[in-house]
Amino acid sequence: MATNSPNTRVVIGAAAITLLALAWWATAPAPVPDAQHATAEIGDKTGEADPASSMAPSRREDRRPAIDTLTKDEEAVSYLREQFGGTIENKRTQIKALEKLLAYLMKAYPDDWQARLQALLEQAFPGMGDQLFAQFRNMTAYNEWLAANRGELNQMTAAEKRDALRDARFRFFGADAAEIFEETLRNERIYDAMDAIKESDAPVHEKLDTYLGAIKEAYGEQAPEFLERRQTELMTGFLTLPSVQDDLHALSAEARQRQLDDVRAAMGLDDAARGRWRDLDAERDAAWQTGERYMTERDEITRTTSGDEQTHRLQELRTRIFGADAETIHQEEDAGFFRFGHRRVYGKE
């Protein structure tokens, strides 16, 4: 893949580059975001204010001629020290600090922000100006590479894209990439395990061991907290894997319920929570039994009738099966959506 020469103004555009929320994108078929619109790839939210609003002067202050650039810069420097000074040696913190400062500079000095960057970095973090400016250049080159290779990346499978992004991160950031992209790299281990499960013929409990093992390997001592925090998301991610769904569809209703309960227990759900899930499963089972009966009768009507007779009989069928929800079902079908026209995803619907 090609690497363009640095062109900071083109790459960064009118808003600060943020580097760190590509974990989801690495596994999804969505288009690569433009570098100037990339969002942060640090997994957890910092809870900090928007950089442009937290560091830049207000509109009222902008209109006051008395406020000078020195005052504005001092406020920005003070903010950076307060927010990031305690952990500025951390490589992820450095990227966060750079993103905040870039947002401020581009708003306050749209014509010459680049010329001010290194001096303000040194002022905010004495003795680290050169190091942080080098990190800025790495960040710029990486985002420029993303923009230049957008089309090629979009043609890759999720696994190929993850590999390409991993290689690029270490190529542009060196050993710092492990710290900067720590959360992303952890998540990618889980995605790699999910890819392996997709190709596996092992029973569900072995697939689950693979999945949970990847989480424990990625998060170590933090794995229980990670599982608890993202319990439903992780559980749904596992259950909706096609190979897991194949296994669930092959089971009897009773065996399937036991298997779902085992998965939920392994994910850390207590007895009360699993009981609520069982109640929801029962409601879904009843709805799908009704829906499958409807689709069978509907197919027979559409196969054997046409015109006004077909329209009338379908309306009667919807009313008989769905009652008050008949019109909603009708509108969905007019829009091309058939609620029960696909293979059911157990554990999700």
Q: What pLDDT does residue 19 have?
A: 52
User: Are 244 and 197 within 8 A, CB to CB?
Assistant: yes
Distance CA 160, CA 140 (A): 23
Distances (CA, A) of 134 to 98, 150, 166, 268: 11, 24, 20, 44
**Which residue stretches of the chain are H helix?**
8-12, 51-55, 59-62, 69-84, 91-108, 113-124, 129-148, 150-154, 158-173, 177-180, 182-198, 204-219, 223-229, 231-239, 242-250, 253-266, 271-304, 307-322, 326-334
Distance, first Cα to last Cα, the chain: 42
DSSP 63: T
pLDDT number for residue 281: 97
Q: What is the pLDDT of residue 44?
A: 34
Query: Tens digit of pLDDT per residue, the chain (349 long)?
Result: 544 444 444 344 433 345 543 333 333 333 222 323 333 343 333 334 443 444 544 444 444 444 577 788 899 999 999 999 999 999 999 999 999 999 999 998 988 898 899 999 999 999 999 999 999 999 999 999 999 999 999 999 988 999 999 999 999 999 999 999 999 999 999 999 999 999 899 999 999 999 999 999 999 999 999 999 999 999 999 999 999 999 999 999 999 999 999 999 999 999 999 999 999 999 999 999 999 999 999 999 999 999 999 999 999 999 999 999 999 999 999 999 999 999 999 999 9
Q: Contact at 8 Å (CB) between 173 and 142?
A: yes
pLDDT of residue 67: 55
Q: What is the DSSP string of 196-263?
A: HHHT--S-HHHHHHHHHHHHHHHHGGGHHHHHHHTHHHHHHHHHTSHHHHHHHHHS-HHHHHHHHHHH
- In this structure, what is the dihedral angle of CA atoms 158, 159, 165, 166, given to the nearest 10 degrees? 150
Long-range contacts of 112-115 (CB under 8 A, 24+ apart): 114/8, 114/9
203 phi and psi angles, rounded to 5 deg: -65, 165
